[in-house]
Structure 1
Amino acid sequence: MNRFFFFVLLFISTLTLAQQQDAPGRWSATKANAWYAKEPFLVGANYAPANAINELEMFQAATFDPAIIDKELAMAESIGMNTMRVFLHDLLWQDPAGFTRRMDQFLTICAKHKIRPMLVLFDSCWDPMPRLGTQHEPVPGYHNSGWLQSPGAEALSDVSQYPRLETYVKGVVNAFKNDNRILCWDVWNEPDNANDNSYGQNHTIKTELPKARKIAIITNLLPYVFQWARAAGASQPLTSGVWIYRTPEDWKNPAKWSAMETVQFNNSDIITFHQYSTADALTSVIPALKSFGRPVICTEYMARGVDSKFQTHLPIAKAAKVGMINWGFVAGKTQTFLPWDSWQKPYVNGREPAIWFHEVFKQDGTPVDPAEVAAIKQATGK
């Protein structure tokens, strides 16, 4: 059968697959909890080295930098971090042997520092027009001015490229399917993020796909990404984290979930979520998400400007054994020490935020706030 028409047929049947409460191959809650019982209190960061503006610059052959990764992960080990959330990219699979080799080298460095990363396969956030090769320099004053979506808008819009995406998922997962250096696979970060305030339809750049179209495409595609990873034989759990704010009552009520959230919850072996909000909000949402009877990990938090902080959030999460992975580690080319609204009010002409938004360390290796590092060490027992 022609591959194009094969994928059209897949889409016709997607709603049935997406709505299944026990997606094919999904771990049982018993298996997921047995896996999690062997894990420590997971603490880490969303990690890109300071000299990489995005996923491609981190892993392409010309810019892959084991020395700086080793240096920075040693810093993470020194404060007790034991995981990192690391983003991959589908375009990197155009060099399967080279990318696999660099991935293995990266995982070896992680293991040296007792860090087991969560690897992210796809991402709906920021620039929808990724290109291999030399990446542009950071745009002064903008948060994440060079981060890339995977797949980009062109690939999402072109069904004939889906076999390439399938080959990437199956290839990278199969290469590391039994690798205990990997904690788990996050198959798609914020899949229904339309980047309204950066590249989306509410911004002057407007290079995003129309919001409703993008969300519909990914809602259809996401169940198959889970299936591709499972078909590749992943021995590690799979997840895709919910991120849009809902009340605890709404999380407990499937009728309140979006179609995308239904896909995420019904396919994830472990529950992951983002929490850029107060300590009280974290306290209230944890029991709601734990009511599903599966392990729970927060894969993004810690934005000082919205009162999401290490000192307040880590003790709450540790008491509930909810893993915590903050955004950002060492300040660098991503410029995520700048707030999200820098896209509306760029920090130029010497302007700097009064409070750094993300990051644990400055580029010179000193803590942004020594009290935060103390809180991380206390939480991790370092």
Structure 2
Amino acid sequence: MKFLKTTLWAIVICLSFQNCAKKTEEQKEEAAAGEQSSGREIWTKEQAKDWYAKQGWLVGADFLPSTAINQLEMFQEASFDTATIDRELGWAEEIGMNTMRVYLHDLLYQQDSAGFLKRLDVFLNIAQKHKIKPVLVLFDSCWDPFPRLGTQRAPKPGVHNSGWVQSPGFDALKDSTQYPRLEKYVKGTVAAFANDDRVLAWDIWNEPDNTNNSSYGKVELPNKVDYVLPLMTNAFAWARSVNPAQPLTAGVWAGDWTSHETLKPIEKVMIDQSDIITFHNYEDAADFEKRIKQLQQYDRPIICTEYMSRGNGSFFSGSLPIAKKYNVGAINWGLVDGKSQTIYPWDSWKKTYTKEPDLWFHDIFRKDGTPYKKEETDLIKKLTAAK
């Protein structure tokens, strides 16, 4: 009997210890989940400046291989063209470029998250080979609001960005039941590369309040910005929740940046949630410099993530020396003339172009690697080489 009592007590004590151990593990898991959900804070100005000081002067282009018409064609398995990517990033390296801005898409993650992340990893390896650290763009409000997976349509002859697609598209943006899917995309993609030195930064949402009036305005989601603003705010939180070592940002692109009070509500969120300040400017050199001075009020590193539209008065010779003067990163739209057809101007949506324009709107190289204007590539090479 005494032996039986002792055995029963031993069982009780053992079970008690097991329960305690189980609770301890559960508490650890809960704590870890809570820590991940809160994520890191927005960087202080000092943290942002320390990061920027390690990068050197950033110069690059918004990159799409010449064989892809949009983000989907760039990264889908059937059309992922590593040979062209490698060749064209090599041309960028030769003129001293050290970054590229590259657009991703939520449908790529939905279609095949493992395959998409694997291909993104391959792309980052190619970029690293050429000493290029990309800015990765998660969402985009520009151009076609009806993205579709699979084979992409052929370019419309002579039309600027005739096949570029929004992310998320019209249907997902208006449907809150799809937001958990978008959350998985943001968290899954950022988490996969959160501590990866090959990634320069995360651009949360490109031109979020762009309603594409000159192209798709008539079929856009009514009150689009009312949907985008809260979703973009959440997207910042989702990305930050997985503790990325890289900065988060969203670039202001149109409006009055004289003071924080003159910003639109969506611009305030873009600035307030960003670790570093990014902006777009397709105007002349004087306006480019004015915009930089306006954004200096935030006392954070600044990168221009879109500029250079020759037909609009924005040239390398005007903007790039100013960017270097103020230590502002400079990423121009377009590297190689290709299926995006951004050598044609924005007005090609209204005006017919039957041949290559004498003055290219965007892009630097022809498909064979020769520069559109050698004096431009000479200037880029000279400015990036100068210490």
- The two structures have a TM-score, normalised by structure 2, of 0.88
1:339 equivalent to 2:345? Answer yes
2:233 counterpart of 1:223: yes
CA offsets 1:179-199 (integer angstroms, 9 cap, x no match)? 000000000000000000000
Q: Do structure 1's residue 208 and structure 2's residue 220 form an aligned pair?
A: yes
Matches within 5 A, 1:304-323: 304-323=310-329
The CA RMSD over aligned residues, in Å, is: 1.2
The aligned runs of 1:140-151 (5 Å cut-off) are 140-151=157-168
CA distance in 2, matches of 1:118, 1:330: 18
Contact 2:278 2:302 in 1 (8 A): yes
Q: Structure 2 matches for 1:98-137, cutoff 5 A?
A: 98-137=115-154
- Structure-2 change in CA distance of 1:266 and 1:24 (3 Å): farther
- 2:373 maps to 1:369: yes
Cα deviation digits, residues 117-158 of structure 1 (max 9, x gap): 000000000000001000000011210000010000000000
What residue ranges of structure 2 are gaps of 5+ in the alignment?
Answer: 1-38
Counterpart residue type for residue 236 of structure 2 = F
Q: 2:207 aligns with which of 190, 194, 214?
A: 190
| Corresponding residue number in structure 2 for 1:87 | 103
The answer to whether the 8 Å contact 2:144/2:216 transfers is: yes
Contact 2:96–2:380 (8 Å) recurs in 1: yes
Q: Which residue of 2 aligns with 1:48?
A: 64
Tell me how far 1:235 sits from its aligned partner. Answer: 1.0
* Structure 1: segments with no counterpart, 5+ residues: 1-22, 201-205
| Counterpart in the other structure of 1:12 | none
CA–CA distance in structure 2, aligned partners of residues 252 and 342 of structure 1: 32
Correspondence for 1:11: none
Deviation of 1:365 after TM superposition, in Å, equals: 1.3
Kindly, what percent of the aligned residue pairs are identical? 57
Change (3 A) 1:308 1:245: farther
Partner of 2:14: none
3-state SS of the aligned residue for 2:219?
Answer: coil
Give the corresponding residue for 1:265: 271
Q: Is the 8 A contact 1:43 1:82 kept in 2?
A: yes
- Per-residue CA shift, 1:230-277, capped at 9, x if unaligned? 11221100000000043xxxx242221111101101100000000101
Whether the 8 Å CA contact 1:166–1:225 is kept in 2: the answer is yes
Structure number having the greater helix percentage? 2
Confirm or deny: 8 A CA contact 2:40 2:243 kept in the other structure: no
Rounded to whole Å, the distance in 2 between the matches of 1:302 and 1:285 is: 15
Matched residue pairs, number?
A: 347
Say yes or no: does 1:301 pair with 2:311: no
In the alignment, the residues of structure 2 paired with residue 112 and residue 363 of structure 1 have an alpha-carbon distance, to the nearest angstrom, of: 21
Give the SS at the match of 1:221. helix
Distance of aligned partners of 1:225 and 1:241 in 2 relative to their CA distance in 1, 3 Å threshold:
same
Partners of 2:384 and 2:40 lie apart in 1 by 36
Shift of 1:24: 7.5
Q: CA offset at residue 353 of structure 1?
A: 2.2
Q: Does 1:354 align with 2:358?
A: yes
**Tell me, what secondary structure is at the counterpart of 1:291?**
helix
Distance 1:31 1:45 in 2: 25
Question: How far apart, CA to CA, are the structure 1 residues paired with 2:253 and 2:229?
Answer: 15
Could you list the runs of 4 or more consecutive aligned residues of structure 1 that deviate by over 6 angstroms after TM superposition?
A: none
- Tell me, yes or no, if the aligned pair for 2:259 and 2:294 is still in contact at 8 Å: no
- After superposition, the C-alpha distances for 1:167-221 in whole angstroms (9 at most, x for unaligned) are 0000000000000000000000000000000001xxxxx22112xx101111111
Moved more, 23-32 or 120-129: 23-32
Give, in whole Å, the separation in 2 of the partners of 1:43 and 1:112: 17
The residue aligned with 1:286 is 292
Secondary structure class of the residue paired with 1:297: strand
Deviates more, 1:358-367 or 1:320-329: 358-367
Question: What is the distance in 2 between the residues matched to 1:129 and 1:345?
Answer: 23
Q: Is the 8 A contact 1:252 1:291 kept in 2?
A: no
- Which residue identity lines up with residue 34 of structure 1 in the other structure? D
Distance 1:24 1:108, change over 3 A: closer
Larger radius of gyration: 2
Q: What are the residue-to-residue correspondences of 1:20-31 with 2, within 5 Å?
A: 25-31=41-47
CA–CA distance in 1 between the matches of 2:194 and 2:89?
Answer: 23
Offset at 1:286? 1.2
Aligned to 1:4: none
Does the residue aligned with 2:360 lie in a helix, a strand or coil? Answer: coil
Counterpart of 2:10? none
Q: Is the 8 A contact 2:159 2:349 kept in 1?
A: yes
**2:252 aligned with 1:242:** yes
Aligned to 1:154: 171
After TM superposition, list the pairs within 5 Å mapping 1:11-22 onto structure 2: none
SS, match of residue 300 in structure 1: strand
SS at structure 1 position matched to 2:239: helix
